[in-house]
Amino acid sequence: MVQGQVPERRRCVGGALGPGVRQRQYFGWFSTAAADQPGCVSAVQQGVASISQMLGTTNGTQQLQQMFRSCKPITSDNSWYFKFTLMGAVGASDQMDNPPDWPLNAVRPSIDAPSGWEEVKPYASAKH
Amino acid sequence: MHQPSTDAPHDRIQTCAAMTATSDPVANWASLFSTAKCNSFDPQTAVEGLSLVIPNANRAWFWQTCLEFGWLKPSYPGTSIFWGEVTLENLLAGCQAVFGIPNMTPYDRPLDDDSLRARADDAPIADSDTDWTNTFLWWLQPARLQHHVQQRPQGFVFIAISVIVGRTLFVVANSCRSIDRDIFRPLALGVDQLQCTGTIERAGRHVQRRPLRDLDRCHAAGPAVSHCRSPDDHHVLEQCLAA
């Protein structure tokens, strides 16, 4: 890994704990984060192309409904949300607890520790 | 719009393993959605789920996403290997539908501290139905309209000290984003303006000033005032504000 990329990656992998990338680049980071997994980025690209093609036809759309177990028909009105959900399932995986930094594991002791707990306890027990 | 949870693997390695499991990329993708009886890909269904005011972690998170963190996830052409047709406007429509927030304005460009402070200080926040989201520095997001604050989900903490000088109520709070002026009502009689310094936002440097007019309108409703304290009862709140 090139030195200097690590902080960027850590910021992104930290996800909601410390988002440091522009929102327009949220899904863009996946191709960088997943580059260490052989064939992953190209598989996603092929999937995007194939699904786009299938959504262009009635038969293809019906096929997608079955494959993805859609509760309701996928239509032109909700196809953006279908894609959004698919993107989320894959594109958000880079901000979970991933090696090599395991950011959530790293953060948790500071919350679990007695001193940390005293800080967050009022938040946990607050009732409006 | 909030993304529904799926039975997808959560980390990058598991996800990539699933996406490369066979030579059929679509079937691989579909395998991430294979255990549910059926999957809702309908935004309206998502809105209905997020509108439930029972203890609802998704709703609380979506509130923070819409109005506090700006943690929405649009996708525009050329910005990723995925589809590029999820606009911020699409996502803000979800915020508007779930929380009844009118005319949200995407503010999708970086802001430095000075410009944010200037905007928070100078914007006639309660004189407009405009709100912002997706600031680059989301933790410095400016204030919201009062009636938005009153709709906020349960579970927020509020710690503050305050003093009245002239016709201004000065507050130092853990977060100006969490201000509920109901708390200040006994102190706020005869006060025209609230000036809040949020310690979380910027260690005391982030100052917001807000007129108190909306709260006055709410409390002018008399007996309905107790209902105004119900943060999630949008209809009661609207009646109260309309009174």
Q: What ipTM was reported for this prediction? A: 0.73
pLDDT confidence of residue B228 = 33
Task: Tell me the torsion sign for CA atoms A77, A83, A89, A92.
Answer: negative
The sign of the dihedral angle between the CA atoms of A54, A77, B131, B59 is: negative
* pLDDT score for A50: 98
| Cα distance between residue B180 and residue A127, in whole Å | 14
CB contact (8 A) between residue B15 and residue A52: no
> HSE-up of A20 (CA within 13 Å, CB side)?
11
pLDDT tens digits, one per residue of B71-120: 677 788 888 999 998 887 788 788 888 877 666 665 544 444 444 434 44
Which of B3, B12, B228 best probes binding to A when mutated, by most A CB atoms within 10 angstroms? B12
- CB proximity under 8 Å: B 90-149 to A: 90, 108, 110, 134, 136, 138
The average confidence (pLDDT) of chain A is 73
Identify whether the C-beta of residue A90 lies closer than 8 Å to the C-beta of residue B29.
yes
Q: Is the peptide bond before A122 cis (omega within 30 degrees of 0)?
A: no
**B30 contacts chain A (CB < 8 A):** yes
Question: Cβ–Cβ of B11/A16 closer than 8 Å?
Answer: no
Residues of B in contact with A22 (CB under 8 A): 108, 110, 136
- pLDDT tens-digit profile of B32-48? 998 888 888 988 888 88
Q: Do B9 and A93 touch (CB under 8 A)?
A: yes
Span B24-33, average pLDDT: 96
pTM, 2 dp: 0.58
Supply B130's token pair: 């405009």
**How far is residue B158 from each of residues B10, B72, B139, measured CA to CA in Å?**
33, 25, 16
CB contact under 8 A, A39 and B43: no
Residue of B136, B189, B137, B135 lying closest to B164 (CA atoms)? B189
Highest-pLDDT range among A3-7, B7-11, B78-82, B177-181: B78-82
Residues of A in contact with B230 (CB under 8 A): none
Joined together, the tokens standing for residue A91 give: 């594109």
Higher-confidence position of B42 and B175? B42
Number of domains in chain A: 1
pLDDT at A84 over 80: yes
Please give the span between the terminal C-alpha atoms of chain A, in angstroms, as a whole number: 47
**Structure tokens given for B231:** 């943060």
Q: Pick from A61, A34, A70: which is nearest to B18 by CA?
A: A34
Inter-chain CB proximity A93 and B40 less than 8 Å:
no
- Candidates B36, B40, B79; nearest CB to A24: B79
Three-state SS at A70:
strand
Q: Which phi and psi (to 5°) does residue B23 adopt? A: -85, 0
**B172 and B160 Cβ atoms separated by less than 8 Å:** yes
Mutate to test the interface with B, among A31, A74, A81 (most CBs of B within 10 A): A81
Q: What is the mean pLDDT of residues A48-64?
A: 97
Contact B13 A85 (CB under 8 A): no
What is the spatial distance between Cα A64 and Cα A78, in angstroms, rounded to a whole number? 13
Chain B residues lying within 8 Å of A47, measured CB to CB: 19, 25-26, 28-29
CA–CA distance from A105 to each of A98, B66, B178 (Å)? Answer: 9, 27, 29
Q: Domain range spanning residue A107?
A: 5-125
What is the mean pLDDT of the segment spanning B141-167?
44
pLDDT at B17: 94
- B10 vs A127: CB contact, 8 Å cut-off? no
